[in-house]
Every structure is written in structure tokens, then in C-alpha cells.
Amino acid sequence: MGQPIAAKAITVMPTLSKAYNVRLALCLAATRVATSCYTYHMGNTASKNDRSVEDYIASLGDEQTVQDSQVLLKIMQRISGHEPTLWNVGTIGFDTYHYKYDSGREGDAHVIGFYPRKGRITVYLMDGTARHAELLAKLGKHTSTGYCLYIKRLSDIQLPILKHIVRESYEYIKSKSQDGPIDRILWQKYYDSKEE
């Protein structure tokens, strides 16, 4: 597997302080996790699933996950004004936008969405979690990566804050997609601008 990320950071930048190298290693690890989440998600959003959203949610087999999914369905439908669509295995998306990158990769993705599984729900913020850091600090028990927000159950968080975050994310993606296809990963652009 090669050297751990922390060892690579220290090897690459031996003249920098150890504390800086540790922060750099953590940042690199977070970026790698966020990028893998994005690559997995975008690689799998290329096709919509013909299965009904209701059937999928009913098949989850966990009462709490089903109840939380019903709440998220209502919230995201109210925010987007669109019916839910099942993408691939189990992502439930609302509304779409088109993206076209310099690499030639092109497709459609949902503007907001979530992926319910037993004991964990992933909420997708296509503009990235970093844009919402202040609100996320008040959200409650969760974890996040580049654009994935992980929640075990809705009772662990402040639902009004989640609604606010999802609404902001939806409005931002819609505003960016008004002028044509989105031309780069938006959450990555936010991180890049913070480094400048």
C-alpha cells in the first residue's frame, strides 16, 4: 500500500514543523476521502433507477431509517419543488443539473439528495460541506467529507439547521447552473479558493 499519508507529508516537507506536517497529513487524508466519496457518487449517478422511491424506502427494513427517510423526502421535495427520483442503488435525488468538465466528463446529477442505509444516512451537498461550516458546527452529531454529510438518525441533529443548509445548497447549485453546464467540481473550487 505504500507509505502512510503522514509519513509522505513529513518526507516531502522535512524542513517544515512537525505540527504543520501533521495538519498537512490530516488535510491530505480528508481530501482523499472526500474525493473518493465524490468519485463514487458521480460515477454512480449517471443513470436513474426505474424502481420507485417508495418501494426502495420500504425495503430498507429498519423502522427508524424509513421514518427519517420520509422526513427527508418531505423536506427536499418542499425545497426543490420536484418529485424524488431514485438514482442507481439507493440515492434519492431531487431536481437535476448538467455538468461538463474540461476532461470531457459530462452528465447530469441531482441538485440535492440523500442515500439512506440502516444506521446511516448520507446527505449530498453538491456545493460542498465547507461552505456550510458555521451551520454544521451547530447541527449536532454528524461527520462530513467534501460534499457528503453523514447522519446516523435525524434525532441526533437540529432539523431546522439541516433544512437551512439543504436550502442554501440547493439555491447555490441552481444559481451556478443557470448559465449552462457546471464546469468543475464546486466543492473542490471552494477549497481551492480558500488556499489562495
Cβ neighbours of residue 61 under 8 Å, at least 6 residues apart? 118
Task: Measure the CA–CA gap between 50 and 61, rounded to whole angstroms.
Answer: 20
Task: Measure the CA–CA gap between 57 and 73, rounded to whole angstroms.
Answer: 10
Helix axes of 159-176 and 63-80: crossing angle, nearest 10 degrees: 40
Q: Are residues 14 and 75 in the same domain?
A: no
Q: Are residues 38 and 71 in the same domain?
A: no
| Tally of structural domains, the chain | 2
Q: Are residues 94 and 149 in the same domain?
A: yes
Q: Are residues 98 and 152 in the same domain?
A: yes
Q: Are residues 156 and 84 in the same domain?
A: yes
Task: Measure the CA–CA gap between 143 and 145, rounded to whole angstroms.
Answer: 7
The tens digit of pLDDT for each residue in 46-61 reads: 456 677 899 999 999 8
| Angle, CA of 176, 69 and 164, to the nearest 5° | 40
Task: Measure the CA–CA gap between 162 and 74, rounded to whole angstroms.
Answer: 13
Q: Are residues 29 and 66 in the same domain?
A: no
CB of 93 within 8 A of CB of 84? yes
pLDDT (tens place) for every residue of the chain, 196 residues total = 444 433 433 334 344 445 444 443 444 444 444 434 444 444 444 456 677 899 999 999 899 999 999 999 999 999 999 999 998 889 999 999 888 888 888 888 899 999 999 889 999 999 899 999 999 999 999 999 988 999 999 999 999 999 999 999 999 999 988 877 776 655 555 444 444 4
Q: Are residues 125 and 69 in the same domain?
A: yes
Find the radius of gyration of the CA atoms of the chain. 18
Q: In this structure, what C-alpha cell is assigned to residue 116?
A: 439512506
Tell the burial category of 50 from Cβ atoms under 10 Å away from its Cβ (0-12, 13-18, 19+): exposed
* DSSP codes, 17-56: -HHHHHHHHHHHHHHHHHHHHHHHHHHH-SSB--S-HHHH
Range of the domain at 82: 53-195
